[in-house]
Structure 1
Amino acid sequence: MRWMLIMQVEPEAAARAAEELDMAQVIAAMGTYNEELQKAGVFLTAEGLSDASEGFRVDFSSQPPVVTDGPYAEAREIFTGFWILEVASREEAEHWARKCPLGPGTALEVRRVNEFADFESDEQDESVREWATKAQEWRAANA
């Protein structure tokens, strides 16, 4: 099973906590965590994201969709990075999430990544299965 650990930061709380942090120690702790994930064979990928001021949001509530440049003043928490892990169970995903060296003002949302098998059910519409098959082919072609 693949699980995504989504890092969320509450900007004000994280800024207060950062005043007391040694960034070299933070980077070293995160590097050690990533290395531990790799040695355990569960690490698939991880990425950090640039500041929200460089991004934009697309709102599909209307047609055409509305594009708003970041940062997003209404956002209480900002998505700042993620890991994707391949583990055997929800409990194992929780184990690794708890070990992540994050501090005050940050949280992880942990979600299972859908697998192609999730779309192969007899209950699924044929067009859903068709697109899932195409997505599987795309992934194989880009591996």
Structure 2
Amino acid sequence: MRFMVMVRANKESEAGVMPTEQLLTEMGQFNEELVKAGVMLAGEGLQPSSKGARIRYDGSKRTVIDGPFAESKELIAGFWIIQVKSLEEAIEWMKRCPNPFDGESEIEIRQVFEAEDFGAEFTPELREQEERIRAVMAQQN
């Protein structure tokens, strides 16, 4: 099972405050543990929302909304993609994570959909297309 683990932003991360050397060291060590265990597939920190945009869809209409966005507690400051056997295992790994910010922080864990989750609507042709796309992406990395 793959899970996306999201680090919730806070006022400091949205203001562009960079992590301390100590936190970078601790996160580096944690990431090394994840990689050595074969758990981590990807992970990155994200720039503040002031450097981003949202696209709002309404039927065929597209509206671009430039950052920053108001509610920092609803924003994501970073993420991991991990592969483990269960939500419980994902939780156990993330309980070992250093606190992402000084003080109160929050991490959200969400399971990623797999092809089999989509049922009959995900036809053999769509599965083949998905496999081709993944193969090209793997070659590009």
User: TM-score surpassing 0.5?
Assistant: yes
Q: Deviations over 1:60-82 (max 9, x none)?
A: 13641211100012454321111
Query: Structure 1: 5+ residue runs without aligned partners?
Result: none
Runs of 5+ unmatched residues, structure 2: none
| SS in structure 1 of the partner of residue 58 of structure 2 | coil
**1:1-143 → structure 2 map (5 Å cutoff):** 1-11=1-11, 23-61=20-58, 63-102=60-99, 103=101, 104-119=103-118, 121=119, 124-125=120-121, 128-129=122-123, 130-143=125-138
Deviations 1:102-137 (A, max 9, x none): 243421110111111222x3xx33xx3243431222
CA root-mean-square deviation: 2.3
Amino acid at match of 1:60: Y
Alignment-mate amino acid for residue 52 of structure 2: G
Q: TM-score, normalised by structure 2?
A: 0.82
Among all aligned residue pairs of Structure 1 and Structure 2, give the percentage whose two residues are the same amino acid.
39
TM-score for both structures, normalised by structure 1:
0.81
Question: 1:10–1:105: 8 Å Cα contact kept in structure 2?
Answer: no
Instruction: State how many pairs are aligned.
Output: 133
Residue 5 of structure 1: CA displacement?
0.4
